[in-house]
Amino acid sequence: MQLADPRTMGFDPDRLARIDAFLERDYLAPRRLPHAQLLVARDGMPVHFSTQGEAEPGVPLRENAIFRIASMTKPVTSVAYMMLLEEGRTSLDQPVEAVVPELKGLSVAGGGPAAAITMLDLLRHTSGFTYDFQYHSAVDAAYRAHRLNVLKPSRGLEEFVATLGELPLEFGPGEAWNYSVSTDVLGLVVQRLAGMPFEDFLADRIFVPLGMADTGFHVPPDKAPRLPDAWWVHPEHGTIVYDRAGAESDWARLPVLVSGGGGLASTSADYHRFCRMLLGGGALDGVRLLGRKTLELMTRNHLPGGADLTQLSRSMFSEAIYSGQGFGLGFGINLDPVRAMNPGSPGEYYWGGIFSTYFFIDPVERVSVVFMTQLMPSSTYPIRRQLKAMVYAALTG
């Protein structure tokens, strides 16, 4: 990867280099992470790119490794939906049941009928849906009983959403925030509005135009050797291999569920191109996916009443800290770095995946960061906060 001189881009190269030393000392040497890849850019120009650790025992991680990005799929699905909104096919206040009638007439657990879920609710996770791994209510227990598992799915997208329509919501739409399968439902919305398979829409309208040649829901045989091991910190057995490298990986097979909430695999270079498009106001290299004002809308806080996640979240697990954080249309939004207790800028937006992958974009400083590794769950270590602090510490101008 061609790098710009960090000094001319307002970065201290020594301070960027010490991030790699930190990763080796605190995470790789003690085997807290299997590997790490970091890409730091300003104005879309990479100023730092490092690849460390092993893909599997005895095999160094490749620079073009393909990672399971899990919930970093969500911003991609959200962009896909907003592209259709720009074409006049939908609106944020449209009831989801107008496109997905299987979700009509839902009820709230322990209560009466629910108000209709809107597209806005799906985008900002205020739908009342949950995840089977939340372990905090009878509703997520019902998800487990009905095998609504997005990591090890047993049914396709149409059947998955139809089963959701048979279960109650955790709360009335718009009443609270809960990290959930909302974006998986949004994937079905995109599929039906576009009149084509969801995975084909992403490929034809996003990945091919942006040159994201290594991003998709399935890693083909010729690229499978680039898939590294994924680790899991198991609550009883300690750190184990969750998904094996290469052709043995679940991602080397066609997916059962095309998950708009968590199914994609990608590279640092590909996701950097996605970030460049976002930082560029919806366009990259002469290709425009979104209008500038649409992206501005997506990166504002859309939580009811302008609240932050400390006020509205009922989630036991998410990819966000809560203090000083809002939520937009597919992104976490940094409202206040003081309350977040970490360097940053108001309006910075970000998200991560359960395998500890992470990105953030700071439109004030024009900085973007992509971090890749493969350790589940992402809540195991505070590495995202540490990396963020160290990247900002390297900024000089």
pLDDT digits (tens, 9 = 90+) for 69-109: 999 999 999 999 999 999 999 999 999 999 999 999 999 99
pLDDT tens, residue by residue, 262-320: 999 999 999 999 999 999 999 999 999 999 999 999 999 999 999 999 999 999 889 98
Q: In 3D, which of 276, 227, 290 has the Cα closest to residue 65?
A: 227
| pLDDT tens figures, 171-199 | 999 999 999 999 999 999 999 999 999 99
Calpha distance 102→185 (Å, rounded): 11
d(CA 52, CA 192): 42
Average model confidence (pLDDT) across the chain: 97
Q: How far is residue 350's CA from residue 50's CA, in Å, rounded to a whole number?
A: 20
pLDDT of the residue at 321:
83
Which domains are assigned to the chain? 6-73+198-393 (3.40.710.10), 78-188 (1.20.58)
DSSP-derived secondary structure for 162-191: HHHTTS-BSS-TTS-B---THHHHHHHHHH
* DSSP assignment letter at 290: S
Q: Enter the DSSP assignment of 88.
A: T
- pLDDT of 312-335, one tens digit each? 999 988 998 889 999 999 999 999
Q: Tokens representing 393? A: 């510490």
- φ, ψ of residue 27 in degrees (nearest 5): -125, -40
